[in-house]
Amino acid sequence: MELDFERCYRAVDSRDQRFDGWFYTAVRTTGIYCRPSCPALTPKRENVTFHPSAAAAQRAGYRACRRCRPDAAPGSPEWDVRADVVGRAMRLIGDGVVDREGVPGLASRLGYTERHLNRMLSAELGAGPLALARAQRAQTARILIETTALGFAEIAFASGFGSVRQFNDTIQEVYARSPGELRVRRTGGEPEAGAISLRLAYRAPLHAGALLGFLAARTLPGVEECDGTTYRRGLNLPHGSATVALTPADRFVSATLRLTDVRDLAPAVARCRRLFDLDADPVAVDGTLGADPALSARINAEPGVRVPRAVDGFEMAVRAIVGQQVSVSGARTTLSRMLSPVQPGELRGFPTAEAVAGLPDDAFRMPAARRASIRALAEAVADGKLDLEPGADREEAVARLLELPGVGAWTAGYVAMRAVGDPDVFLPTDVAVQRGARALGLPHTPKALEAHAERWRPWRSYALMRLWRSA
- Residues serving a catalytic function are 34, 430
CA angle 120, 121, 123 (to 5 degrees): 65
d(CA 318, CA 152): 41
Q: How far is CA 193 from CA 202, 235, 256, 441, in A?
A: 27, 19, 12, 54
Q: At 232, is the secondary structure helix, strand, or coil? A: strand
d(CA 112, CA 128): 14
Give 49: exposed, middle or buried? Use CB within 10 Å, 0-12, 13-18, 19+: middle
d(CA 58, CA 127): 9
Q: Measured in Å, how far apart are the chain's first and last C-alpha atoms?
A: 41
Closest CA to 179 of 153, 213, 215, 216: 153
Q: Are 16 and 39 in contact (CB under 8 A)?
A: no
Closest CA to 232 of 201, 191, 195, 193: 195
Alpha helices, H only, 220-277: 265-275
Q: Are 435 and 445 in contact (CB under 8 A)?
A: no
Taking residue 352's Cβ as centre, other Cβ atoms within 10 Å add up to 16
What length does the chain have?
A: 471
Do strands 252-259 and 240-248 pair parallel, antiparallel, or not at all (unpaired)? antiparallel
d(CA 307, CA 15): 27
d(CA 212, CA 210): 6
How is 125-161 classified by DSSP, letter by letter? HSS-HHHHHHHHHHHHHHHHHHH----HHHHHHHTT-
Q: Are 101 and 93 in contact (CB under 8 A)?
A: no
Q: Are 207 and 302 in contact (CB under 8 A)?
A: yes
Q: Are 43 and 114 in contact (CB under 8 A)?
A: no
CA atoms within 13 A on the CB side of 250: 0
d(CA 85, CA 83): 7
Taking residue 439's Cβ as centre, other Cβ atoms within 10 Å add up to 14
